[in-house]
Every structure is written in C-alpha cells, then in structure tokens.
Amino acid sequence: MTRTVYYTATTLDGYLADPDDSLDWLLRQPQDEAEPQAQPDDPQADNSQADNPQADDPQAQDAAPSRKDPGDYEEFIAGVGALVMGSTTYEWVLRHESGIWPYRLPTWVMTHRELPRPVNATADDDLGIRFAQGGVAEVHAEMLAAAEADSDADAEGKDVWVVGGGDLAGQFAEAGLLDEVITSIAPVTLGAGRPLLPRRLDLELIDTGRNGAFITARFRVVGRLLEDREAADAP
Ligand SMILES: NC(=O)c1ccc[n+]([C@@H]2O[C@H](COP(=O)([O-])OP(=O)(O)OC[C@H]3O[C@@H](n4cnc5c(N)ncnc54)[C@H](OP(=O)(O)O)[C@@H]3O)[C@@H](O)[C@H]2O)c1
C-alpha cells in the first residue's frame, strides 16, 4: 500500500533549518557507511548467521532490538514514487546542487511564484518537475497516481515523500493525508529556525534506530491532538 511519508532530518529542538535556511549543522554530522547487501552466495552472509546465537531462536529475535535503521535513505528512496516540497526547499536544493536537479522522480513544488528551472532541464525534459499551488488534496491525488504508475504490478506500491518544509507537512496532516513521519534527529539545538511540524498532532512511535550521530525514529500519524479532539467534542 502506498504511504505518504514526511521523511526529514531535524535538530533535537525541532528545526529543519536555521533562520537563514542553513543546513550546515546537518551536513557536518557523521553517518554510518552504507553496508553492502549480502549476496546469497556470500560466505560472510552464512558466517553472520552462524555467529549469531539468536538466529534460530524466534523469542530471542523478538526481544532483540531491530538493527534496521528506519531512517536509511537508500532503502527509503528506493520505495518512493513521487515527491512534494515547498519553494524554500526547492530553492535550497538548487543552490546546494549548483542549479542541477538531483532527483529522477516526479516532483511537485508548491509555490505562488514563478521559480527558476534547474540548469539540467531542457525543452524536451522538464525532469518531472511540476509547480502547483493551493490545497494539497489535488496534488496528493496526482502524486498517488504517479507513484502507482511507478510501482511493479505485484509490488506493494511506491510511497509519496513529503520532503518539507514543516508547514507543508502540516497541510498534508490537516487534510488527513499524512501516514508517517520518519525523522533523523541530530545532536544539535538551534533555538530558532524552520520548524519541523508546526501542528498539534498525536503520533505513535513504531520504530527507532541509530545512524552515526543521529537517532532515527518512525512514527505513525494518529491525527489531531487528543486534547483538541476532546475539546471539540465536548458539549
Ligand atoms: N532538515 C531537513 O532534512 C530538511 C528537509 C526539508 C527542508 N529543509 C529546509 O527547511 C527549510 C524549509 O523552509 P520553509 O519552512 O520555508 O518551507 P518550504 O515548504 O520549503 O517552503 C515554504 C514556501 O512554499 C510555498 N508553499 C507552501 N505551501 C504552499 C501551497 N499550499 N501552495 C502554494 N505555495 C505553497 C510558499 O512559498 P511561495 O508561495 O512564496 O513560493 C511557502 O512560503 C528550507 O531551508 C529547507 O532547505 C530541511
């Protein structure tokens, strides 16, 4: 099933970027090296099973903390079929990549303005970038269609990535269209900046991990904050 996921990094005090849209604090954090996938005929794959005394004990496996990192970017992006981002994030990506668009996936950029196109876009190839404005429900329906078109017939369905910023993720949550938040929490506080998710929501923690300096966490979006729902329902 296609999920709509807000996947991002944040400071410990809940900022995506500093007040000047700098991500220097993020880009200097150490991350784990990506581990090569073990192949079925890789002798090391067999050894790791043999060396693991819990490998044949289902109870021990249940009790053992998951070593899979819910924030693993390579695994996440491999399951993504469409992206959406706000104009500040789009402009940051262009600045950071010297004007070159790094994604090869259908992307919706939310803006009320005319924005520059990437230097690698041509008259024949818009690199899958569409500019949109207004309510997110219509954009979401188009994204789902694109993600489904990108899915194998027998696969579970590709996900939709809400890249950010926080208010845009909030618009999806308010519309009841955000399924999950996956965040990598950096050991940094900024005191001010672009907020992670400026809404009142309940979330359920469903997985945690660690990658280098980051705590990674995956949450299911439950909905509006319980206290707000109760106040709205009170006679
Ligand atoms: N830490 C991370 O992993 C991470 C992830 C994502 C982003 N970031 C950074 O965090 C910052 C986020 O910036 P931000 O908070 O300003 O958010 P943003 O979502 O990137 O940009 C907000 C802008 O998008 C446009 N917009 C949003 N919703 C719209 C809608 N429904 N219709 C039309 N336009 C809409 C508006 O601009 P206009 O109409 O004026 O164009 C709005 O001011 C950026 O610096 C970005 O690089 C960091």
C-alpha of 51 from chain center: 34
**Secondary structure (DSSP) of 97-116:** TTT-----S-EEEE-SS--P
Residue 191 lies in a domain: yes
Residue 136 alpha carbon, nearest atom of ligand 1: 31
Q: Which residue range(s) make up the domain with 86?
A: 4-32+56-233
Residue 68 lies in a domain: yes
Q: Encode pLDDT of 155-177 as tens digits.
A: 778 999 999 999 999 999 999 99
Whether pLDDT at 89 is above 60: yes
Q: Give percent above pLDDT 70 in the chain.
A: 85
Whether pLDDT at 39 is above 60: no
Whether pLDDT at 51 is above 60: no
What is the reported pLDDT for 42? 43
The DSSP symbol for 55 reads T
Residue 46 lies in a domain: no
Token pair for residue 178? 């955000």
In order of 109, 114, 118, the CA distances from 131 in angstroms are 5, 9, 13
Whether pLDDT at 25 is above 60: yes
The pLDDT of 127-137, averaged and rounded, is 97
Q: How many whole angstroms from 90 Cα to the centroid of ligand 1?
A: 8
Which range scores top for mean pLDDT: 59-73, 102-116, 141-155?
102-116
Q: Do residues 8 and 183 touch, judged by C-beta distance below 8 A?
A: yes
Q: How many whole angstroms from 194 Cα to the centroid of ligand 1?
A: 9
Token pair for residue 195? 């907020």
Residue 17 alpha carbon, nearest atom of ligand 1: 10
Whether pLDDT at 37 is above 80: no
Residue 130 lies in a domain: yes
Residue 194 alpha carbon, nearest atom of ligand 1: 15
Is the pTM for the entire model greater than 0.85?
A: yes
What 3-state class would DSSP assign to 202?
strand
Domain count, the chain: 1
**Which pLDDT band, with edges at 50, 70 and 90, does 151 fall under?**
confident
Contacts of 70 (CB under 8 A, 6+ apart): 182, 207, 208, 209, 216, 217, 218
**Which pLDDT band, with edges at 50, 70 and 90, does 35 fall under?**
low
Residue 41 lies in a domain: no
Distance CA 146, CA 129 (A): 12
Residue 47 lies in a domain: no
Contacts of 103 (CB under 8 A, 6+ apart): 83, 127, 128
CATH number of the domain where residue 135 is located = 3.40.430.10
Whether pLDDT at 209 is above 80: yes
Instruction: Give the other-Cβ count within 10 Å of 136's Cβ.
Output: 24
Distance CA 205, CA 203 (A): 7
Residue 173 lies in a domain: yes
